[in-house]
Each structure stands twice: as structure tokens, then as C-alpha cells.
Chain A
């Protein structure tokens, strides 16, 4: 394999990784601040994608679609938090798993009811289409490059938000002692709704951005949700930095494993056997990574 092809796969892995980060950041914030495990986070991703696809189809504007995705996912997150999630904070994890599993059923079937079973399509805007030539002569799709840029910019913004703003201070205080910040006069239930809506908006953004390179369909959120769990387990629960490192590790392992393992087995096996064994192992590679991290550091890299 040539070096150029390898670098292109590294970029693909990076792009996958930053999108996983958008999902994992919301999950880890919600867990860190409220102690809640939210299986329905994948549904918010799906809502973002559907809102973007429907709005872009109606108006023809990709940016309006993105705005709609952010608004719809944040609104859905806030409504769900007020109506259901709020009652789950004092409950044990089993009740949280069950209630959010029920929310997945409701969201998925509701979306299927409104939009039907056929996938929708979201086109990349013309001003982001086509390849660009990177230094070193790599031809790479501009849209995917933009995804990496947006992902990294959101990550930087999130770090600034947590480290430098008043809301960030409240979030960090909520992680360490919720009674104390309530006693200091912070409206804790408003803070929780805000954090949940923020996480939902990030998931919706990821769904809309990825929706333009994949098909938008019911059930698209859950595979990503499970990968985001792997990211959080690797990075450590509650840690934004861990989520970023874990997401990029998972993105690179998944992408490079899919390309390199069949080649590796091709050295000493015949091509068809190498392809089947290699791709079967590649599908397991991120879970093997997770198992390895668990053996060395059960609380995750930054937990």
C-alpha cells in the first residue's frame, strides 16, 4: 500500500473519530454531571439527521438544514429531559437503561411513522463538494475535510466552554457536588436541562453532518451510540479530554484495521481467506482495543 493511500485512511479515521467525539462528548457530560446513562442519545443523533434532511430538501439550503438539526435535537433533548429524564436521576442505572430503551422504541417508531421506512438523502452542498489537493499531493474530499475541521472546532469550543465560562464552572461544580451548588443558589434543574440540551445538540449536529455521507434512516443512531460507549469506556467516564482521545483512537483503529488487517493476513494466506479473516477480525478490532484498555486501566485512560 502506498503512503498516500495510508494517509488518506488516516484522514478517514480522523474524520470518523471527531464525529464519534461529538456523540461521546454529550454522553460523557450527561453522565458526569447528572450520573445518567442515556441509551436514547442515538435517537437524538437520528433526529438531527432527519431534521437536516427534511429541511434541506424543503429549502435547498444545507446550512438551514444544519441549523434545523441543532434546533430539533436540542428541543427534543430539552423536552425529554423535562418530561422523563428528570425523574430518573435518583433511580438506579437499571431503571435508567430501561426508560431510555423505551424512549428509543418511541423515537424510532415515531420517526418511521412520520417519514416511512425508506432512507432519506442529504446532499453535500455544492460549495463543499469535490476533492481538494492537500500538501503532498493527496486528493481528499473537501466535505470530509470540513467535517474534521468542524469536529475539532467544536471540541475546542467545548473545552473553552467548560474551562472559561460561567456555565462551564457550574457544570464542573455540578460534577463534584450537586447539593453544594444548589445551596449556592444555582437553579440545578435548569442547569441539568441545559446540559442535556447541549449534549443533544452535539448529537444532532453529528447526525446531520454524517447524514450527508451516509443514508438517513431509522436505527442509524444506535450503532454510533454503542461506539460512543466504547469511546467513553476507553477515555474514562466524565472526561471530555478522554472522550476526544478515545474517539480518535477508535476512529483510527476501526478505519485502519479494516484496511490493514486483510493486507497483513494477505502476506501468509491466500487472498480470499485473508480477506474474510482480515475483515472479520477488523470488525472486532475496536472491541479488542477496549478489552486491552480495560485490562491495563479499568477506569479508562483519563477516568
Chain B
């Protein structure tokens, strides 16, 4: 059969009445999961994997892809409106989106986020079709050395971006996050670290209680202070204005999509880093000065980046059966459950599957944009609710979000503890985002560093002889070194000497 036949088979599934209703409900469910703090894309895909067990294979795949795309996109709404990222992938969106909402531009911010999510997903799909073999080869060049350095690089740029002019504070936050990620059994020898005999801590620190505590708690507690109890006016915006922002950001969108797809394609990195890296790239190239105070270009880059990573994460799933992110891992398991065997033999065993995925992603992206744009008309009204009513209700949702991770009260208590830490960090102006990224990437850094050293019998030479690894080292040092007073003095001295000579 030809490609056209496979595409028409996929279209048959999508445009059938059952297909349309399933797509609508799955994307809507994904958006709701993404919006609610504590419910993640991984959870949404996992939940629907069970529910679609008895469905036909293609229909189940359509539902699972729909919920995945919906959940990653939905996270931006709570990030913009409440400064609580619905999913970790939207943390970068909150940096610029929330200040925009505080300025009364929540509608514009959400419209632009949705449109960027759509663009990111579509460009991600194009990359799936065009670059699957190429990107798979590139991603496979990332060995343990590169993976370790990529995590350090992530922390360093995230610290730089969110520190409001004091990178040292951002990096401290990131490194403390890395230190917390070491709590629990280590991934190589299963030895308990920093658990102090507390059994619950030997399982490690779950990401969600930390995320909710760090981001949500300070906002909630702030509602108790009279000066923060202001109702934010939501000014109306014209769709034209939103499209003008997007037109102005075409280069930004393309760059962010490429970065997002690449990050998504690297196994274990995923949507979070895709969003952050795209935001960083835009901030570096932009001449604007309002970063951190509501720069709409930042929303475009982070949302395009994290949604393009969805396409990227599917590339290794399809070609190597290696998931690029946590939700993609659940998706892979679901594909297996429905009888599809992604991997090198995919095109030989089930050639129609690639076309199903591509067509379903395209339709899911359209459905996501349509639904998200309509939902946002109602969600922006959240800002009209008095803070002293809204925030306690959000707190109860946060408690549920922390609890459902492992169905244990320990995680709720952990959220409370990290919430207090979040308040202290905010008071002392330490950004929370690098801390979160540290927790996400910590175990990956540990595992890869030790693997690289064990394979090279303790020698660090391989870090300097591999080109990609060397590139990361140079980049990290270029960001870090100037912040240390000794290095700063050295550079100053050299410059003064040069001036005297000239």
C-alpha cells in the first residue's frame, strides 16, 4: 500500500463520528489535566491508557495522542493566570505570562500561548516527517558525558534566565534543587542517601509536591496580605493584536520549534528543557529589556519550544522505541498494549502506524487550538475572583495534586515544607524554576556522570575529547566563570593592561 492509502485510512478514523467525539473529549480532558496544578500529562496519558484498553487500536492511538497534546498545551493557562504551572513543561511560560496577566493582558498572553503551542506542535510534526532518521542519529550521539553536561547546562542557563540580574542566586537555587534530587535510593547502587532513616524519603522526593509547593504556595499565602488582594482587570484584546505578535515572532517560533524538537528527541530530556532552552535562546537574541516583567516574546518561545518537544519526543519512540520524555514513555507502553511495536522494524511490521501518528497529531493540534481558545474566554475570568476566595480553593486543589502522586499524605506534608521554602526563597529573591529543574535533572546527572566515569575507569579525559561534550564545557564555563570575583578581577586586570598598552 502507498502512503496515500495509509493517510486515507487515518483520515477515516479521525473524521468518523466516533473519532470526532473521541478527539474532542480527549483533547478537552488533556487541557483540563494540563490546567489543574498537580495533574500532569503523564497522568492523563496513563489514565486514558487504561480506559482505552478495549478500544480499537487506531482509535485508542488517536485518543492518547489527543490527550498528550492537550495536556502539554493546557499547562500554560494556570501558569499565566495563577503563576502555577499546570505541568512542569509550562514553568518557563509562567516567568513572562504571569506578569502579563498582572498587567491585565491575560487574554492576549493565553491567546499567544495557544497559538504558539499550535505552531510548535505543527512544526514538531513537520520535523517528525522530515527529520526522524536524521534527528535519531543526532540524538544517539549524546552519550553519558553529553547527557551529564546537558543537565549542568540546563541548570546554568535556567539560573541565568530567572535570577533577575543575579545569576549566582539562580545557580544556588539550581544546585540546591540538585542536592534535593539526591535524596533517596541512588540509581546505580540503591544506597539510601540523605533520607535520615525516614522510610518515605528513601523513595526520593516526588516532583509534583515540590513544584506545587514552590510555585503555588507563595501565591496562596500572599492572599493573606491585604496589599496583594487586588482584582486584576482583564483588558480586552483584539485577535489582530495576537496575530501581530506571532507575525513579529516568526524567527522566534521557528528557532524555538527546532530547539524543542531537538530536546524532545534526546531521550530523558523532554518538554521542560525544550521550553527553557527556547526561552533562553530568545532572551539572548532579543534586544528588549522587559524580560521577567511580562515580555510576550518569552511566552511565544517557551510554549513553541515545549510543544515542539512533543513531536521530538515521538521521534525516538517511533524509530528506536526509546521515549524522549515521561509522557512519551507512557505513550510507548500504551502503543505496545494496543499491538503496535515502535522501533527499527516499525515500517516493516506496521507501516500504517507512522501515518496514523502524524495525521492524529495534526488533527489534535487543530482541536487543541480551537478548544483552548474557547476555554480561555472563561478561564481568564478566574482573575476576576477575589484572591481571598480563589486562593484557599486553589490550595485544596494543590493538596489533592500533591496527594495523587503516590496516594500518601507524606507528599502533602512535603508540599507544605517546600511551600515554606518557596516563600523564603521568594522573600530572598531566589528563583524557584532552577530549583525545580535541579530536582528534575538531578538523578539523570548522577547516573550519567557515574556511568561515563565507570566506563572510562575514572578518567575525565573523555569529557574533553568528545566535540559535543567540549562545546558544553566551554559554554558552561563562559557563563559561570565571570560571576566569580577572582575571575572578574583577572578579566578587569587584563582589560586595563590592554588599555594602558594601547
Q: A and B: real partners?
A: no
